[in-house]
Amino acid sequence: MDKTQYFYRTVVITRKNNQVALANIDNPEETTPLDDWLAVVISLADGAHNIQELIDYLSAHYPGQAPEELEKTIDSVIDRLKDGKLLGFSDEPVSLPYYLASPVEELDIEKAKELMQEDGYTQH
């Protein structure tokens, strides 16, 4: 895995009740909860950071030294999100469109839907 690649989410998310989940823009109450590791990575997938920065950031949250398998775990999580087409990758930083940049509860839903239509974005 190329750790210099920038990673970004390609799905609408929610952070309702401190739970990161996938959200349906047409029915924001319809959500698909994510496992903890998937939720952490998808919520940090802002297009402004590369994979190595993600690893460094998560490693720094452990007192003392990060677990030996942390990088392998992160790689596995990224692969799962990539396989599900929930993440995209770029050699350069990416600015997320309005409807992906913030959790659904912070969006103007009508504006988000209009921009999605203009961009030809379809939810997975």
User: What confidence tens digit (pLDDT) does each residue in 16-31 have?
Assistant: 888 899 999 999 888 9
Q: Is residue 1 part of a domain?
A: no
Question: Once rounded to an integer, what is the mean pLDDT over residues 84-91?
Answer: 96
Do residues 49 and 3 make contact, with C-beta atoms less than 8 angstroms apart? no
Q: What is the pLDDT of residue 71?
A: 93
Total domains in the fold of the chain:
1
Would you say residue 43 lies in a domain? yes
CATH number, residue 82: 3.90.930
Q: Rounded to 10 degrees, what is the CA torsion of 31, 101, 41, 53?
A: 180
Q: Are strands 13-14 and 87-90 parallel, antiparallel or unpaired?
A: unpaired
Q: What is the share, in percent, of the chain residues with pLDDT greater than 90?
A: 83
Quote the CA–CA distance of 87 and 7 in Å, as a whole number: 7
pLDDT 10s digits, 101-118: 999 999 999 999 999 999
66 inside domain: yes
Q: Is 106 helix (H, G, I), strand (E, B) or coil?
A: helix
Q: How far apart are the C-alpha atoms of 35 and 39, rounded to whole Å?
A: 6
Radius of gyration, alpha carbons of the chain = 15
What average pLDDT does the structure give for the chain? 93
**3-state DSSP call for residue 11?**
coil
Indicate whether 42 belongs to any domain. yes
Q: Who wins on pLDDT, 98 or 16?
A: 98
CA-based end-to-end distance of the chain: 24
Does the residue 124 lie in any domain? Answer: no
Give residue 25's domain range: 6-119
In whole angstroms, how far apart are CA 50 and each of 13, 19, 80?
A: 20, 24, 17
